[in-house]
Amino acid sequence: MIYVTDTHSLVWFLANDPKLGKDALSAFRSADEGKALIVIPAIVIAEVLYIAEKRGASAQLNALLKKLEESANYIVYNLSLIVLIETQNLKKLKDMHDRIIVATANIISAKLISRDSEIKNSGYAEVIW
């Protein structure tokens, strides 16, 4: 199974935060066990970088980057022209970051790990939480 993660989902998984939904946690655990693939849009990495800098959590960011380098089950999906073109079809979403994340899920036909109600209610992607 292939999943795309949004920023909150990834941060909450890495922090073992109880706010992470049951199905979201299951998807991340499946990737850790080598049974699934988690695709991380580049914009999510940028947002995690911003959050880590803001909170003084560079050690956690370095741990994430190391995990990404070492794991075949977590991959970063680059921001490309194809992604940007797809965002034009997602006008119900106000936030460009959300459009990029959803566009990535759509392009690779993946389920999206997100708690974001605006994304879920848009109907643009299959969302798990």
Determine the straight-line distance between the first and last CA of the chain, rounded to whole angstroms: 15
**pLDDT, position 125:** 98
More confident residue, 63 or 85: 85
pLDDT at residue 55 tops 90: no
State the Cα angle at 2 between 102 and 114, rounded to 5°. 40
Taking the model in full, what pTM does it have? Answer: 0.92
Please state, in angstroms and rounded to a whole number, the distance separating the CA atoms of residues 11 and 53. 13
Helices and strands of the chain, counted as H and E runs = 7, 5
Identify the band that residue 15 occupies on the pLDDT scale cut at 50, 70 and 90: confident
pLDDT at residue 90 tops 80: yes
Please state, in angstroms and rounded to a whole number, the distance separating the CA atoms of residues 11 and 57. 12
- Going from N- to C-terminal start, the domains of the chain cover 2-128
Structure tokens at 72: 């075949």
Architecture of domain 2-128: 3-Layer(aba) Sandwich (3.40)
pLDDT at residue 1 tops 90: yes
Q: DSSP labels for 16-62? A: T-TTS-HHHHHHHHHHHTTSSEEEEEHHHHHHHHHHHHHHT-HHHHH
